[in-house]
Structure formats: structure tokens, C-alpha cells
Amino acid sequence: MKVSGTSNKKEEETAVASSVGVTEESGVLGTTRSKPGNDPGGGIDLLAALQLHNTTRQGVTQVPGLVRLKAAYYLQGEERELRLSEASFKRAAALLRRVPEFTIAAALRQEEANSGTIVAFSHGNNRYLELQSSGRKDELRLHYVSRRDGSVHVEAFPFRLADGAWHRVALSISGSQVELLVDCHPLYRRLLRPGPPDTNFTLPQLQLWIGQRNARHFLFKGALQDVKLVPGPHGYLSQCPQLDSSCPTCGQFSMLQNTVEQLMHNLNELTRRLAAAEGRINKVEECECQKSCRANGTVHEDGATWEKGCQQCSCVHGEIECRPTPCAPVTCKNPVIPQEQCCPICLKQCYLHGVIYDHGVKVSPKQCVECDCYDGSFTCQRFDTETRCPPLPCPPSEQISVAEECCKYCPGVDYCAKGHKCHANASCLNLQTTYACHCDIGFQGDGHNCHDVDECKQQGGSEGHHCNANTRCVNVIGSYTCECLPGYHRVDKFNCAELDECVTGHHTCDEHATCVNTAGSYYCVCKDGYAGDGHTCKPICNQTCQNGGECVAPGRCSCRRGYIGNSCELDLDECASDLHRCHRSSSCFNMPGWYYCRCKPGYRSALHDSTQGTQCLDIDECNDHTIERRHTCHPSAKCVNTEGGYACACPREDNNTEEECRLSCWFEDREVANGDTLAPAGNPCRRCTCNDGVITCREPICDCSLPGSRKDKCCPQCDPAASCRHQELHHLVFRSGERWIYQCQTCECLYGEIDCWQMECPPVTCSNPVTEDGDCCPRCEDDPCAREVTLNGTSLSVLSHPRPCSYAGIIHDSGSSWQDPHDKCTTCECKPLHFSVFTKKA
């Protein structure tokens, strides 16, 4: 649908009266002066921020505008740079970051067939937020980065702005809702399915441009005036104050919803607090406002303290709190707690032979006498050998007395077996009359207490380690081990030798890296043409692999099927290369990255267009009820239907006819003599010829090698001045009429100007299509157009699981092989594994 319109005089005067206000240009000066670009309504006048009235800019001329009291500027030529200052950009970014809804408004007069940007937040060719008008597609486009997925999306609104007339344009964004008004008429209100635009402006190096995306591309040609960023809802009222603004916007509704949710949260919080307060009040009422405490019939005032047993209790706001009575620390070994007391005390010490002993200590001052210290006094008693010594198996004549021992012993007794007090890491040794404890090897002590010896603290000797070079001593309980240093392997228990990881293969270098051995270690270096840390090396492509291509080798991109070129930047014309599957009754139409089949003139589709070859049925042009295609036979001749066409014939001479039969053509409501050639209305370059009543039309054949072909208006592709350069790959030059893919958009060169729009994706036949990194369109997992990965001369197309193969419209069983009908040098196999292999013959 194409829509166009102009604004009337009354609307213009109303808008001027409401939006201009008092300015210096009107001859009335206020008492204060705002910064250049500030709008009285809180917005930013982007044209004023450029300060074009104070400078002379290339390609910019001041002209009369739609609003008489404001300056308008006519933009032309291929060289200009209308980029706002960094301060103006930051002010605009802060404004959009602060509000949930805003409006981009402008008055403009765009030249016919021009495709140019009105306002753009961008960096180079990378779009962030951009309003654009295409005079070729007759549509307005909103380019934006979605806050939800971070990807660039395009919303297109069919309308013809590029008609050489003045228009007011206002695009209001409120959350995920966008509304377009042209000349104060609401045209579109849509929901942005990918989510609201991102206005955080976190992408680096963004710039704000007026009338262009960057210094070279999408240059707006025509006049601009009153280009504004207006914050808040209903920003279009700055252009059209008479419009209704009673209906809330999406942003207002969202704010209202958030306010209601906050009020509900506050209400719930107040309800909770009120319930807690009521509970406390009830407790106060139960206590009859008494804060004293009652215990065992005694009333204690609030704050009073008392002792109860060995506890100290206090009254705290009507509640009794008790804790153990605090005691002073004691330093003796055996403290005691006297009766009717709560804290331990130390009793008196004892003194014997110049030594002081604590209360409770037992000593033996002489053989077979045992003394106890009790509160400063020793109580001693003799050791009763009759009752306390064990019975002996040997006769009294063989019993032995040991010094400092009261009991006698028999010779040859296993004292260790009878019980000992040696440490767990010590050994018990029987002596003649007793036993002895010795710490095990690796431990030291008196045998009753043994601790580990750290042999790693010293080298050599009985208590040191014997690890040699290239090892590291590691202490363990009771011993030590010699660990090999990294890069060395074990020779014996104490020695290690260097290991060449590069020779033995004990390294983790990438297959595209070189292993370099060092003393005790190694390092990896990526080979030429690869980059990484050596353990992971990826190929380097100086060019950017486009359209889903992947860099698989230095300087080489593996392209998706449907694209060719060093950077996968060129479309593969399946139609011209005879790589399509269209039937003979249909024609192949190439698209960027794919193609589709359309029935030839004289046929109609039985099902739908597809890449498998449309099933086409013959059209009976001679049937008066046929609407797909009308015949051009003269009314005096008879139309005869043929397969894929028709013919015009005269009736037999014996038939009585009032009018002489003519084999001329009836075309565009007039008669065309047989053999004549003419140009159809609206297409002066096309040529249509009448041949026995049948009109046949053809497009012009352009031979750019002929002299004067560059001046032929019907062959713009022959004019070098009408060519275009690729946005990034500047060595690529496209002729007028050629198309390519860039940033998931279809771009076309037409008379030296580039226009890009959202690319059209091929249909998918699966229920769950996938989109891989670098892809612009969803694909089926077993799509034959998947990216090919070359490995040792074999191309692998990854599939999800084993299944029969579909190729060229024919189903092949798993394990079968056949010859590619389009490439006689290729044999295809449907492998029963998880991939299909295509091997080139020698």
C-alpha cells in the first residue's frame, strides 16, 4: 500500500502558533537564553544544535520551510557531515535514557526516489536507533537494537514521503509500542515484537547524525526543518496540538501498573506491621500495663536484679532474664567449689623438700611411701605390697628387687605384652626388669610422646631427605617422597629426568600450533595464519566472512550454499548457474542466498511457490472467466488455447462473418498492427511486439561494450557513475540494479545510491527451525544449504540424527549413493552416520 498526503494551511498555522513560541528570529527576545538546541518543551532541537546558521557547510543551503519562523536547510550532494558534537550527543542520550517514551519529529521535503536517513544514532554502518525514509520502496523504516536480545531489527511503515512535497513526520515510541503520524494523521500503531528499543547507549563510539547514517551512506536529499527529540508521552503534540491525547500511552500504562503494584506492596507491608502492633498491644493489655516481674510470690520492679541459686536474675520490661553467676578465673590445677558457694576456689599449697605442690597432687618422697597434698598439708601412707603388688610366677629365691620400685619382678617377663604406655608411633622394648619406649623412624620424642620429623627441612643424614635434582621433597607422616618437577619423569625413588613433551606427544598444543620444548616444560606457538594462545588456534581471515560464512583456514571463508566470493559477500545465482530445481513450466527467480520458482506466463501454480520446483498448470487464456492472463487476439479472430500459451486464428472462409478477420493485437485498449513494436505504458524501456495477434514483451538487452551505452537510460548498469561501492568491502563495485546482502538486509544499487531493506528469507519446511550464529534466516537442521566444512578434501554437512536423504526432490535411503544431476563430477552418498559426505572424483 502506498499512502501520500500534504498538510493544509490551517494545520500549518496552528502548529506554528503552538510550537514556535518566542524566539530570537521572531524579533522578540526573552529575559533568559537557553543553550542551542534546547526546546522550551524539554526536548532537543537537533538542527539548532548543529548551529548551521553560524557556519557554512558543504551540501547545506538555508531555504524557506514549512514553519515560517524557523530555519530550514536543503541537503544535497554526496559530501557532507552533519554530526552533532559530543556534548549534544551526550545530552540526547541522557534524555532518552531517562524517559520510557519519546518522539522523533521532523518537517521534511524529500526528493523523489531518494533513500536517506532523517536521524541516526550509529557508529559507522552499525545501526543503533535510526529513522529512515526510502523513496524506492516508499516506506519509513525504524532501525533499532532490541533491549531484549541485543540484535538490530527493522520496522517498516509503507508511506510515500519522497514526493517532493512538505510533510510533518512524528514517530512516537512508548515501551514496545510505536506510533507513526504523518501530517497530523495517525497512520500506524504497532507492537514491536522483538521488544522495546534499547536506550541505555552502552555501545561504544556511538554518534548522532542528522540527514545521514554516517559520512558516506544514506544521505538524505531534500529539505529538513524542526528536527526534534521530544521526551514523554504524546510528543507529536509539539507538531499537532489539536490532536487527542486523552488515551494513555503504553509507557503511561506501564507507569500506572508499576504505581499500582507499589501501592499493593505498601498496603501489604502496612497490614503486616499493623498485625504486629496489635499483637504487642494485646500483650500490654494482658499485663495491665504492669512492667514489674513476679517470681515465687515476690514482686520485682523493672530493672531490679537478684540472685537465685548460682544465677543472677533481672526484670526487663516485665520479663525475667537469668544467667549464670560470673566467677573470677582460678590458676590452680585442682580447684574446688565449697558448699553453698557457686564459684571455684584454690586451696592451700604444700611444701616438701624445697618443692611447692598444688592441692590434690600425689608424690612419692621415698620408696613405697605415697603422700597426698590436701589444703596445705601432706598425708602420707606406706605402700602395701601384699595387696597392691601382682602375684609372681617364680619362687621367692628368683624374685628381683628393682630400685625405686616397691614390687618385685621375675626375670624374662614380657612386660610389653602385659601392657605399656608407649605412643602409637613408638615401639615397646622389653628389658630385664621392665620395658622401654622408643619413637619409630621418622618420629622423635621420649617414646611416650612422639611427633613427626619433617625430613624436607634438611638434606642428608638420618633426619634429612635424599631427593636429588629435578625433584621436590614432600613430607608425609613418618616419611617423605620425592616428586618429579613439571616436565620431568621418574627414574627411581630419588631421581627424575627431563621429559621432551613435544617428542612424546604429552602436550596440549593445538594441531595448528608448534610445540617448543624447554627445560622442564614446553610452550605452544600458533602457526602463521592462526591466532590464539597456542593451545587453541583459530584461523585468521583478514576479510570478514559474511552471510553466515565461517573462517576455516587462513584467508579462506567457508560459505553457506547460496553465497560465493572471498568473503561470502556475493550471491550465487542458482538460476544462471543452472543449479535450481524448477520445472520446465516454471522460471527460476534468483534471490540473495536462495531462489524460488515462478510459473511461466501461460501457467499458474497448483500449490505454492517453492525451491523444489513449482507444480504449474496451464492457463486457458481464451476463457473469458480467466483473470490471471488475458489474450490479445483481435475481436474478429478466434483465440485457441495451447500448452503454456495461446494462438489467434481466423474462422474458416465458408463461415459468414460480418467483419473481416484480422490477426492484429488488442493491447492496452487499442489495436496494434501485426508486426508492430511498441513500449507499454509506464515502462518506456520495455519492447512489446505483435505477432499474429499475440503480444510478446521483452526487457532491453544491454551491451555495455557498445559506444554510447553508458548514456543509455535503459541500461543504467553501463554507466560507471551510477555504480555503488560495498559499505565495508570498498573494492567491491556493484552496477545499478545489482543487489547484495549486508547486515541481514537486502541492499540495491540504483543510479549511484544504495538502499537497504529487511531481507526476505526462504520458506522452511520443518516445524522447529534453528538460527545459528552468523545466520540471518532460520534453517532446518537437515537443510542442504547448511554451511559446508572442508576436511581433507571431503565436505561434511552435519545432520541431527540418521535419516533418509532428500536431494533434488528425490528421497534416497540411508547408505545409498547417486550422481549429482547438477555436477557430473560429484557422487553423493547418504551415510548411515550423523553426517552426509560429498566426495569429489579425481
Q: What is the pLDDT of residues 703-719, one digit of tens each?
A: 888 888 888 888 888 88
Contact 797, 600 (CB under 8 A): no
Distance CA(54)–CA(796), nearest Å, equals 63
> What integer pLDDT is reported at residue 208 of this predicted model?
95
Q: How confident is the model at residue 2 (pLDDT cuts 50, 70, 90)?
A: very low
- Answer for the pair 210, 228: CB distance below 8 angstroms, yes or no: no
Q: Which of 162-176, 542-556, 596-610, 795-809 comes out lowest in average pLDDT? A: 795-809
Task: Tell me which of 202, 223, 239 is where a domain ends.
Answer: 239
Average confidence (pLDDT) over 473-496:
87
pLDDT at 224 (0 to 100): 95
The confidence band for 29, taking pLDDT boundaries of 50, 70 and 90, is: very low
pLDDT tens digits along 210-235: 999 988 889 999 999 999 999 988 88
Residue of higher predicted confidence among 334 and 767 = 334
Give the C-alpha separation, 554 to 545, whole Å.
12
Domain co-membership, 343 together with 233:
no
Percent of the chain with pLDDT over 90: 24
3-state helix, strand, coil in the chain (%, to 5): 10, 35, 55
Question: Same structural domain for residues 73 and 213?
Answer: yes
User: What pLDDT was estimated at residue 18?
Assistant: 35
Domain end (from 184, 215, 239): 239
pLDDT of residue 814: 67
Domain identity same for 357 and 491: no
- pLDDT of 491 reads 80
Residues 56 and 201 in one domain: yes
Are 344 and 338 spatial neighbours (Cβ–Cβ below 8 Å)? no
132 & 218 share domain: yes
* CATH number of 131's domain: 2.60.120.200
CA dist 798 and 785 (Å) reads 11
Q: Could you tell me which residues are beta bridge partners of residue 589? A: 596
Give the amino acid at 472.
Answer: R
Do 132 and 211 belong to one domain? yes
In angstroms, rounded to a whole number, what is the distance separating the alpha carbons of residues 106 and 605?
46
Quickly state the pLDDT bin for 657 (edges 50, 70, 90): low
Give the closest residue to 808 by CA, choosing from 632, 578, 469, 643.
Answer: 578
pLDDT reading at 540 higher than 90: yes
What's the rounded mean pLDDT across residues 624-635?
Answer: 78
Query: Does residue 299 lie within any of the structural domains?
Result: no
Question: Are 201 and 53 contained in the same domain?
Answer: yes
Residues 77 and 181 grouped into a single domain: yes
Could you tell me which residue, 817 or 268, shows the higher pLDDT?
Answer: 268
Cell of 56: 557554512
Instruction: Report the half-sphere exposure of 503 (CA within 13 A, side-chain side).
Output: 6
Whether residue 353 is contained in a domain is answered as: yes
Q: Which of 176-180, 476-480, 625-629, 775-779 is the least confident region?
A: 625-629
Distance separating alpha carbons of residues 680 and 186, to the nearest angstrom: 37
Q: Which of 565-574, 770-779, 800-809, 816-825 has the highest mean pLDDT?
A: 565-574
pLDDT in tens, 169-212: 999 999 889 999 999 999 999 999 889 999 998 888 899 999 99
> 215, exposed or middle or buried, with CB in 10 Å at 0-12, 13-18, 19+?
middle
Q: Tell me how many degrees the CA angle 138-144-147 measures, rounded to the nearest 5.
A: 150
Please determine, for residue 798, whether its predicted confidence score (pLDDT) is greater than 60: no
Question: In the predicted model, is pLDDT for residue 514 greater than 90?
Answer: yes
Contact 775, 786 (CB under 8 A): no
Calculate the average pLDDT of the chain: 80
Q: Contact 289/280 with Cβ under 8 angstroms?
A: no
Reading the block at residue 313, the C-alpha cell is 536474675
d(CA 416, CA 93): 90
Q: Is the pLDDT of residue 477 over 80?
A: yes
830: its cell numbers: 547418504
Q: Edge-to-edge strands of the sheet including 305-308?
A: 305-308, 311-316, 319-324
pLDDT digits (tens, 9 = 90+) for 452-461: 889 898 888 8
Same domain (yes/no): 89, 169 = yes
For the record, the C-alpha cell of 831 comes out as 551415510
> In this structure, are 229 and 105 located in the same domain?
yes
Q: How many CB atoms lie within 10 A of CB 496?
A: 22
Taking residues 646-667, report their average pLDDT: 80
More confident residue, 281 or 274: 274
> Total structural domains in the chain?
4
Q: Which residues of 504-540 are buried (b: 16+ CB within 10 A; e: fewer)?
A: eeebebbebbebebeeeebbbbbeeebebebeebebe
C-alpha cell at 756: 537497504
**In which band, very low, low, confident or very high, does the pLDDT at 27 lie, cut at 50, 70 and 90?**
very low
What is the residue-wise DSSP string for 741-768?
EETTEEEEEETTEEEEEEPPPPP--SSS
Per-residue pLDDT, 511: 93
pLDDT tier at 838, thresholds 50, 70, 90: very low
CATH code of 479's domain: 2.10.25.10
User: Residue 35: inside a domain, yes or no?
Assistant: no
Whole-number pLDDT of residue 357: 86
The pLDDT tens digits for 132-161 are 999 888 999 999 999 988 889 999 999 999
- DSSP summary character for residue 21: -
Is the pLDDT at 841 greater than 70? The verdict is no
What span, in angstroms and rounded, lies between the C-alpha atoms of 275 and 767?
Answer: 55
In a domain, 198, yes or no: yes
In a domain? residue 76: yes
Domain that holds residue 358: 338-382
What is the three-class DSSP state of 663? coil
pLDDT higher than 80, residue 803: no
Residue 772 counted as domain residue: no
Instruction: State yes or no: pLDDT of 26 exceeds 50.
Output: no
Return the pLDDT at 247: 66
CA atoms within 13 A on the CB side of 41: 22
> Does residue 410 carry a pLDDT above 70?
yes
Residue 285 scores a pLDDT above 60: no
pLDDT of residue 533: 95
Candidates 116, 111, 57, 65; CA nearest to 83 is 57
Does residue 675 have a pLDDT over 90? yes
Which residues, 6 or more positions from 17, have their beta carbon under 8 angstroms from its beta carbon? none
Query: Is 154 among the domain residues?
Result: yes
User: In terms of domains, do 220 and 342 share one?
Assistant: no
User: For 442-481, b where at least 16 C-beta lie within 10 A, e where not — what string?
Assistant: bbebebeebebbebbeeeeeeebbebeebbebebeeeebe
Q: Give the per-residue pLDDT at 165.
A: 93
Nearest to 581 by CA among 786, 809, 785: 809
| Highest mean predicted confidence (pLDDT) among 97-106, 278-287, 288-297, 567-576 | 97-106
Tell me what pLDDT residue 536 has: 94
Q: How far apart are the first and last CA of the chain?
A: 55
Single out the residue in 367, 382, 397 at which a domain terminates.
382
Where are the extended beta strands (E) located within 288-363? 293-295, 298-300, 305-308, 311-316, 319-324, 350-352, 355-357, 362-363
When pLDDT is cut at 50, 70 and 90, the band that residue 23 belongs to is very low
What's the rounded Cα separation, in Å, for the pair 775 and 151?
12
pLDDT given at position 85: 93
Q: Is the entire prediction scored with pTM above 0.85?
A: no
As a three-state string, the secondary structure of 779-824 is ECCCCCCCCCEEECCEEEEECCCCCCEEECCEEECCCCEEECCCCC
The DSSP bridge partners found for residue 380 are 371
Say which residues have a Cβ less than 8 Å from residue 427's Cβ, sequence separation at least 6: 437, 438, 440
Q: Which of 825, 827, 829, 837 is nearest to 795 (CA)?
A: 837
375 & 456 share domain: no
Residue 269 belongs to some domain of the structure: no
